[in-house]
Structure 1
Amino acid sequence: MSYAISGECCADASCVAVCPMNSIHPAPGEPGFGTGASLFIDPRTCIDCGACADICPVDAAQPADRSAPDDVERNAAYFADRVPLDGLDLDAWEPPSYETWGGGPRRVLVVGAGPAGMYATRELLLRTTAEVTLVDRFDRVGGLVRFGVAPDHPRTKQIISTFERIVQHPRVRWRPRTEAAGLTGYDAVIHAVGAYESRRLGYPGECTAEEFVAWYNGRPGATLPVDLTGPRAVVVGNGNVALDLARLLLSDERRLNAMDVSPEVRRTLATSGIKEVVLLGRRGPEEAAYTQSALEELLATAGDRVDLRYHARATGWTEEGLRLDTGETIAAGNLFSAIGFAGRPIDGLPFDAERGIVPNVRGAVVDRPGHYVAGWIKRGARGGIGVNKACAQETVMTLVSSSRGAVSPGS
């Protein structure tokens, strides 16, 4: 199901900047931008990621099944005679629009093949003549999309095919299963390594979002560190990842059979015996980090088996269940934590442990000329797939305007 934009669109184009598939038009600079009452979403290329809805200041972007039929029809009609665009026809773009380096192509190393790294690579190809070496610790591109998006959102994962096109470009050297340490001779390095390490409550028997999501998405080497025990589980956290965990835990056999998961994952979830999930948040519903669309999806899937608790903190985990600061104990067999992610320090670069980021100014690492960051390691673990597009664009613009001398990852 795609998204559609209603007649209340403010046309400020904030959604255009975050759309990972270039599905929203007319964009700034295109015919018709600023002259009509609305922007439009192409239902043929929309991957249902919700980035437009998350950033829309007037809530005009909505799932098509919750939009007025006239709005859905108007969005589709705008694109009826237009060829689908994905913004990756790299050879057809105009010459680089940023200030470029003199002396021919330069060499840039991009570390990380998740959304931030892929968008940084795309931006370098579109706007410069640089040759890009792209490395990742895994053997496939995708990062957060491949190993973080819930398996019942297959449409969102379609963007991986777009990323795979980027690494086929003649100016890209794709080096899977490669660490950046020891690679030298580059004019600039963009670190797009993400922030995938879960923050923890610190209780024995706790299963973090990182562990659970990596397991059900089949990340290499990932295992489920606990046995699933019904009939009730507690998920501490009020973001979209917490809702993903609850939705997967409560999926019935029919839903599980429709997901792209391994037989082991399908069997384990189907036989877990978990019939109810308590979602625990320390703040109120008005301050919850999840999006409205994610909450509505969860309630539509398993509304009568989800208990939303607010204004409470966990104080301990025992055989009886989760103790709260209210004095209550929630009887449960499993404890999951989805309380955020943090980045890890990068050798040779400064690190802000409290925020979990590399200190930077518009992507340029503080006091480390030639080093740049993009994505969650730059701004913290917030924002979905589409936000990385604008984030990477800013970093590449900063890189190109700096035009500093050659560095190496360890310098």
Structure 2
Amino acid sequence: MTYAISGECCSDASCVAVCPMNCIHPSPGEPGFGTTDGLYVDPRACIDCGACADICPVDAAKPADRSAPVDVQLNASYYRERPPLDGLDLDTWEPPRFDPWSDGPRRVAVVGAGPAGMYATRELLQRSTAEITLFDRLPVVGGLARYGVAPDHPLTKQIVETFERIAAHPRVHWRPGTSVTVAELEGRYDAVVHASGASESRRLGLPGELTADEIVAWYNGRPGARRPELRGPRAIVVGNGNVALDLARLLPTLPGTGITEVLVLGRRGPEAAAYTASAYREVEGRNEIAFRYGVTPAGWDEHGLTTADGELISAGTLVSAIGFTGRPIEGLPFDETLGIVPNVGGAVIGRPGHFVAGWIKRSARGGIGVNKACAQETVRTLLTVGVPQPA
């Protein structure tokens, strides 16, 4: 189901910045911006990711099936006489600026082919003449867009097709299945953008717990992922983010697990829940899913979960979905508390020529669309700061 923007639109354009498919118009600088009744979603390009709804300050962006028919019609009619938009827009983007790089193309390495790395690559293609070498330890592009999005969200996964087209651009040299170190990159490239993500699951520290990453990687078919041991009839998911709700929705549907009900536990109150409205709508009213808040897990064994209050909650599976953290990158500074590489606007502190984008830059929060604005900031910083010049 695609999204539509209603007449309550305030045109602050927050949704334009986060839309991963560039399908909300007129955007700032385009004809009609500020003079039309609002902004409109192109139903031909929308991938149903919900980024516009999550950031809209006036709740004007909604799934089409929850929007007024007239709003759905107005959104579609805005694009009726327009050709389908190209998610890359490489040929129609503003001319590149070469203030610090006026002597021609340079070599840039992008490490990580997930959403942040691919958006950074697209920005570099659009705003410079740089030759880009793209590395990823996996054999395909997409990262969490391919292996982290729930399998029952096929529209959202369509963004991977755009990423594949970016990787196939003549100025991109794609190096799949390749791990590289900072030391190996030094001296070979004028700038390096690290977009390695934050794939390390935070844990409760209870023996026998499974992590969200283990299960999500398995049901999405990530190379090297193994089927975890899932037992029913009840599963407990600790966490109140979107990943926790995805697990709660999907665990009862997985064959051979015996799971028929899921209890979602929040260690704090409902006011601290981190899931988005669109994610909650997908589990709202499901009889097999229950929520409890203010519960502190203290122990786990074959009988179930013991809380800090001494209560035993019977269950066969315990899954921690309490977030992710980045891993240190050897050769770069690292903030253990935040799980990020310290940076200013994407420029790594103390390491000229090195930049970061995505979760390793800002910590593990925000969906696919947020990486677009994040990568744009990093590339703007890269082009403004430039690259170290020989003495």
Fold shared per TM-score above 0.5: yes
Does 1:39 find its partner at 2:39? Answer: yes
Distance 1:348 1:166, change over 3 A: same
1:167 corresponding residue in structure 2: 167
1:326 to 295, 306, 309: 309
**In the TM superposition, what whole-angstrom CA distance separates every residue of 1:68-105 from its partner, at most 9, and x where no partner exists?**
11111111111111112134131343320463502110
Distance 1:6 1:92, change over 3 A: closer
C-alpha distance in structure 2 between counterparts of 1:86 and 1:192, whole Å: 24
C-alpha distance in structure 2 between counterparts of 1:99 and 1:13, whole Å: 28
C-alpha distance in structure 2 between counterparts of 1:69 and 1:143, whole Å: 36
1:337 corresponding residue in structure 2: 320
2:334 corresponding residue in structure 1: 351
2:200 corresponding residue in structure 1: 197
C-alpha distance in structure 1 between counterparts of 2:98 and 2:27, whole Å: 19
Q: Is residue 208–residue 301 contact of structure 2 (8 Å, CA) maintained in 1?
A: no
C-alpha distance in structure 2 between counterparts of 1:215 and 1:151, whole Å: 11
Q: Is residue 370–residue 406 contact of structure 1 (8 Å, CA) maintained in 2?
A: no
Q: Is residue 10–residue 58 contact of structure 1 (8 Å, CA) maintained in 2?
A: yes
User: What displacement does 1:383 show?
Assistant: 0.3
| Structure 2 stretches lacking a partner, 5+ long | none
Does 1:223 find its partner at 2:226? Answer: yes
2:270 corresponding residue in structure 1: 285
Q: Is residue 322–residue 331 contact of structure 1 (8 Å, CA) maintained in 2?
A: yes
User: What displacement does 1:334 show?
Assistant: 0.4
C-alpha distance in structure 1 between counterparts of 2:157 and 2:389, whole Å: 36
C-alpha distance in structure 2 between counterparts of 1:223 and 1:246, whole Å: 20
Amino acid corresponding to residue 380 of structure 1 in structure 2? S
**In the TM superposition, what whole-angstrom CA distance separates every residue of 1:353-387 from its partner, at most 9, and x where no partner exists?**
11100000000001001000000000000000000
Per mean C-alpha deviation after superposition, the further-off stretch among 12-21 and 179-188 is 179-188
| Equivalence map 1:135-150=2 (5 Å) | 135-150=135-150
Amino acid corresponding to residue 2 of structure 2 in structure 1? S
Amino acid corresponding to residue 249 of structure 1 in structure 2? L
Describe the SS at the equivalent of 2:177. coil
Per mean C-alpha deviation after superposition, the further-off stretch among 95-104 and 44-53 is 95-104
Does 1:236 find its partner at 2:238? Answer: yes
Q: Is residue 233–residue 335 contact of structure 1 (8 Å, CA) maintained in 2?
A: yes
2:293 corresponding residue in structure 1: 310
C-alpha distance in structure 2 between counterparts of 1:102 and 1:29, whole Å: 26
1:374 to 331, 335, 357: 357
**In the TM superposition, what whole-angstrom CA distance separates every residue of 1:258-294 from its partner, at most 9, and x where no partner exists?**
xxxxxxxxxxx22211111000001222321011111
User: What displacement does 1:220 show?
Assistant: 0.7
What TM-score results when the alignment is normalised by the length of structure 1?
Answer: 0.92
Amino acid corresponding to residue 336 of structure 2 in structure 1? A
C-alpha distance in structure 2 between counterparts of 1:148 and 1:238, whole Å: 17
Amino acid corresponding to residue 191 of structure 1 in structure 2? H
C-alpha distance in structure 2 between counterparts of 1:369 and 1:100, whole Å: 14
2:211 corresponding residue in structure 1: 208
Amino acid corresponding to residue 124 of structure 1 in structure 2? L
What TM-score results when the alignment is normalised by the length of structure 2?
Answer: 0.96
Describe the SS at the equivalent of 1:164. helix
Q: Is residue 122–residue 166 contact of structure 1 (8 Å, CA) maintained in 2?
A: yes
C-alpha distance in structure 2 between counterparts of 1:118 and 1:98, whole Å: 21
User: What displacement does 1:203 show?
Assistant: 1.2
Describe the SS at the equivalent of 1:174. strand
1:186 to 189, 204, 207: 189
Q: Is residue 146–residue 157 contact of structure 1 (8 Å, CA) maintained in 2?
A: yes
Describe the SS at the equivalent of 2:116. helix
Describe the SS at the equivalent of 1:91. coil
Identity %: 70
C-alpha distance in structure 2 between counterparts of 1:341 and 1:65, whole Å: 33
C-alpha distance in structure 1 between counterparts of 2:176 and 2:45, whole Å: 28
**In the TM superposition, what whole-angstrom CA distance separates every residue of 1:107-128 from its partner, at most 9, and x where no partner exists?**
0000000000000000000001
Per mean C-alpha deviation after superposition, the further-off stretch among 339-348 and 58-67 is 58-67
User: What displacement does 1:339 show?
Assistant: 0.2
User: What displacement does 1:299 show?
Assistant: 2.6
Amino acid corresponding to residue 190 of structure 2 in structure 1? D
C-alpha distance in structure 1 between counterparts of 2:59 and 2:93, whole Å: 32
Distance 1:201 1:60, change over 3 A: same
2:372 to 389, 394, 411: 389
Q: Is residue 303–residue 314 contact of structure 2 (8 Å, CA) maintained in 1?
A: yes
Per mean C-alpha deviation after superposition, the further-off stretch among 325-334 and 234-243 is 325-334
User: What displacement does 1:39 show?
Assistant: 0.5
Consecutive aligned runs of 4 or more in structure 1 exceeding 4 Å deviation: none
User: What displacement does 1:18 show?
Assistant: 0.4
**In the TM superposition, what whole-angstrom CA distance separates every residue of 1:182-237 from its partner, at most 9, and x where no partner exists?**
23410000000000110011112111011110111111111133x22111010000
| Structure 1 stretches lacking a partner, 5+ long | 252-268
Q: Is residue 251–residue 259 contact of structure 2 (8 Å, CA) maintained in 1?
A: yes
Q: Is residue 100–residue 128 contact of structure 1 (8 Å, CA) maintained in 2?
A: no
